[in-house]
Amino acid sequence: MCVYISSSVSGYNETPGVNTTIRYGGVIMANIKSAKKRILVSRKKADRNKAIRSGVRTAIKKVYAAIDAKDKDAAASAVLAATSAIDKATSKGVYHKNYASRKISRLNLAYNKVFC
């Protein structure tokens, strides 16, 4: 069993020696209560962001699948759903507004190339 000593907790640089964490086989063991809470909160936020990102990627794939199938009605509803999902993810802070704008623009461009 390996023991690694680090002076940072999940990306936050603290003063060395004050908030030392020890990793036992990938599990972070914090010594200070606030560090334990920070680990739990960051994991919860990461899981939430991962689920939102996954949903957005699925919505985008549905758009391109409908466009490839030349199904105009399905593509139009998929573009609307994907745009909504991207906007919701942006409002929750998962994506930057420029990233979201670029994705929405590319979806509309792909739709318009085939159906307009």
Check pLDDT > 70 for residue 7: no
Residue 6 confidence (pLDDT): 47
Question: Which domains are assigned to the chain?
Answer: 1-31 (no CATH), 42-115 (1.20.58.110)
Confidence check: pLDDT of 32 > 80: yes
Which has more pLDDT, 18 or 95? 95
pLDDT at 27 over 60: yes
pLDDT band at 79 (very low <50, low <70, confident <90, very high): very high
**Percent of the chain residues topping a pLDDT of 70:** 76
The separation between CA 112 and the C-alpha centre of its own chain, rounded to angstroms, equals 28
Relative to beta strand 27-30, strand 3-6 is unpaired
Confidence class for position 116, pLDDT limits 50, 70, 90:
confident
Q: Cα separations (Å) of 53 from 4, 68, 91, 95, 102?
A: 31, 23, 13, 9, 15
Which of the four pLDDT bands, split at 50, 70 and 90, describes residue 22?
low
Residue range 34-54: average pLDDT? 95
Mean pLDDT of 85-111: 97
